[in-house]
Amino acid sequence: MPAEPPAVIALRDLTKRYGRTVAIRDLSLDVRSGEIFGFLGLNGAGKTTTIRILLDLLRPTAGRASVLGRDCQADGLSVRAAIGYLPGEISLYQDLTGRRVLDLLARLSSTPVSADYQRQLLERFELSEVDLGRRLREYSTGMKRKLGIVQAFQADPALLILDEPTEGLDPLMQEAFYELLGEVRSRGRTVFMSSHVLSEVERVCGRIAVLRKGELAVVATVDEIRHRAPRRVDVLFVADVPPPSSFPTTAGLEVTAVNPRCWALRVRGPLGPLLARLGSLPVLDLKVEEPKLEDVVIDFYREGRS
Amino acid sequence: MNGILTLARHSVARSRVLLLVLTAVLAGFEILLVVAAQTLQESGTFGSFAALVPPFMRQVFGDSLIVFMSFAGVVCFGFFHPMVVAALAAFAIAVATEPVAEIESRFLDVVLARPIPRSTVIGRSALLMTLLSAGVVAAMVAATLVGLHALTPRTTAAPATRLILSLAANLWALLFSLGGLALAVGAASRRRSTAGGVVGVAALALFFVDYLARIWKPAASMVWLSPFHYYDAMTMVMGRPLPAGHVAVLAGSGLAGVVLAFVLFSRRDL
């Protein structure tokens, strides 16, 4: 069995309090090298607080956060030398041009920014030199987001921390962004991203963590979480059949709608018991819909609210 | 150091218009005062002004009021005119509260997400607060000296360059003291308006304490708290040399503010 890649991010019993308010409590989590890790939660769940502790913008009340084995607070400079960060709301001075922003932030990086790589990023996100010569006050939300992505990626850091990265991007630019994520992952970079877009998380992330009121509700691969949800199964019949009186008592099967020629069910686990029951009925077709990440994650959110 | 210079260049570039306008206005005001002093001197108005001063004003301000009503007094007034001092103090406070503005706007999030120590941000603002206020005061000195060279009446003795430099040094020390206080308050605040407001109101109150102390004895016991107490420009115009002790108090309090700002900023949540 191959050894697990080393943890790029390690959180141990991380807690942050503001007076009596607990922003995050006893958060322990590992993000491994080369993975794209989704960090999910409702607004105020503690995602941004965690990210800001990783960047040493906030100091934890208790516990420890480390990146590449180095403590984020005690050894913050070397930690941040390995990070590219895209904030949820990128705040840059409106009187600066895009070019000046990129140059300023490149000069503040410890790793030299490759002009070639920066140009590739700009081309990928369709930011021309004319665009870069304009002041940010003339930029649309999407253009600012693209500039934010370029500044985060331009030094080609080992770890990318991205807070709602595709917010404000049009579908084509979202595609460009997903392609970029795939490329950086193939080069061994690690991505830690928070997102509200569950379809996006399902598409790009290998593992996710769901944060609920500052506490970790679940950490698992996207597949593991998806398979916690029941599959939706529609059974179509060639002739009218009586309602399935015995189904609700069968483990893992739940009837959600019944018509004479169609039953809608939710099935947890294997389909065998259902198929066995259907064997004596005039089945025309079976439609099995794979469970979605959204179904499970939204349940986690709801449990937290209740 | 590279980070400090990069951020300092960025800050200067952003505030260059304000900086240039302030420098031009204050340097122009110095020239204007020299022109006014020349006009008053040549028309012989100074003598009649002095005769018009009511006795109670003489009691409050002493001989300094008479000295003020002279060619040298008017020329030097530019270095302690309340509006000039207020404008320079506001400028020093604005420069010193840049870190809190950057926290408020979240610009620091992208800066400090890079391997930049927090001390760089405070170091940049301390450097700019020191150098830019010195630069504006130096421009005032240059304008005064140029004005004096061109406009001093032949029969009149121009104020000594040493006096002008002493006033400028003491004024700069006052600005450094207020700037240091603003830097420290800003380093612990979440909003620039709060930090600037607190320091601005405190400066105004301390300014009045200094004045009040001259006419109301109870206030005299508190006057040592006022940085304006350590900038007694009129006594310098009357011939007293630059009080090194006063400059040391102002520079020391400014430095204490800068050190406190480094400590507070390094410990806080951003």
- pLDDT of A51 > 90? The answer is yes
Do the Cβ atoms of B114 and A104 come within 8 Å? no
| CA atoms within 13 Å, Cβ hemisphere of A201 | 30
| Chain B partners within 8 Å of A85 (Cβ) | 109-110, 113
3-class state of residue A240 by DSSP: coil
Average pLDDT over residues A119-145: 94
Q: How far is A293 from chain B (nearest CA, A)?
A: 31
The pLDDT of residue A249: 56
A293-305 confidence digits (pLDDT tens) = 777 777 777 776 5
3-class state of residue A65 by DSSP: strand
Distance CA A51, CA B67 (A): 63
Q: pLDDT band at A24, cuts 50/70/90?
A: very high
Per the structure block, which two tokens stand in for A178? Answer: 């997903």
The pLDDT of residue B190: 93
A137 in reach of chain B (CB within 8 A): no
**Which chain A residue's Cα is nearest to B265?**
A57
Contacts of A57 (CB under 8 A, 6+ apart): B108, B109, B112, B113, B269, B270
The pLDDT of residue A256: 85
The pLDDT of residue B61: 65
Q: Which residue has the higher pLDDT, A298 or A281?
A: A281
B17 in reach of chain A (CB within 8 A): no
Distance CA B28, CA B84 (A): 12
Q: Could you give the residue ranges of the DSSP H alpha helices within chain B? A: 2-42, 45-52, 55-61, 63-68, 71-77, 82-96, 98-104, 107-112, 118-151, 161-187, 192-215, 217-220, 233-237, 244-267
What's the maximum distance between 2 C-alpha atoms anywhere in chain A? 74
With 0-12 CB in 10 A as exposed, 13-18 as middle and 19+ as buried, what is A152? buried
Distance CA B54, CA B50 (A): 9
Do the Cβ atoms of A107 and B115 come within 8 Å? no
The pLDDT of residue A1: 56
Q: How far is A82 from chain B (nearest CA, A)?
A: 9
Average pLDDT over residues A160-180: 93
The pLDDT of residue B64: 67
Is residue A286 within 8 Å of A233, Cβ to Cβ? yes
Is residue B170 within 8 Å of B237, Cβ to Cβ? no
Is residue A132 within 8 Å of A115, Cβ to Cβ? no
- pLDDT of A289 > 90? The answer is no
Buried/exposed A170-202: b ≥16 CB within 10 Å, e otherwise: eeebbebbbebbeebbeeebbbbbbbebbebbb
Q: How far is B121 from chain A (nearest CA, A)?
A: 12
Torsion sign over Cα A65, A70, A76, A80: negative
B79-122 confidence digits (pLDDT tens) = 999 999 999 999 999 999 999 999 998 999 999 999 999 999 99
Mutate to test the interface with A, among B110, B124, B190 (most CBs of A within 10 A): B110
Instruction: State the complex-level ipTM.
Output: 0.82
**Kind and range of the H or E run holding A124:** helix A115-124
3-class state of residue B77 by DSSP: helix
| Chain A partners within 8 Å of B14 (Cβ) | 93, 95-96
With 0-12 CB in 10 A as exposed, 13-18 as middle and 19+ as buried, what is A257? exposed
Per the structure block, which two tokens stand in for B82? Answer: 């309340």
Do the Cβ atoms of B114 and A105 come within 8 Å? yes
The pLDDT of residue A246: 64
A78, A85, A95 ranked by CB distance to B113: nearest: A85
Mutate to test the interface with A, among B10, B15, B114 (most CBs of A within 10 A): B114
Question: How many secondary structure helices (H) and strands (E) does chain A include?
Answer: 11, 14
Average pLDDT over residues A70-80: 94
The phi, psi pair for B114, rounded to 5°, reads -100, 170
B117 in reach of chain A (CB within 8 A): yes
A249-266 confidence digits (pLDDT tens) = 556 788 888 898 999 988
Residue spans per domain, chain B: 2-267
Please list the pLDDT of chain B residue by residue as tens digits (270 residues): 678 999 999 999 988 999 999 999 999 999 999 999 999 888 877 777 767 777 776 666 666 667 777 888 899 999 999 999 999 999 999 999 999 999 998 999 999 999 999 999 999 999 999 999 999 999 999 999 999 999 888 888 889 999 999 999 999 999 999 999 999 999 999 999 999 999 999 999 999 888 888 778 887 888 899 999 999 888 888 888 888 999 999 999 999 999 999 999 999 999
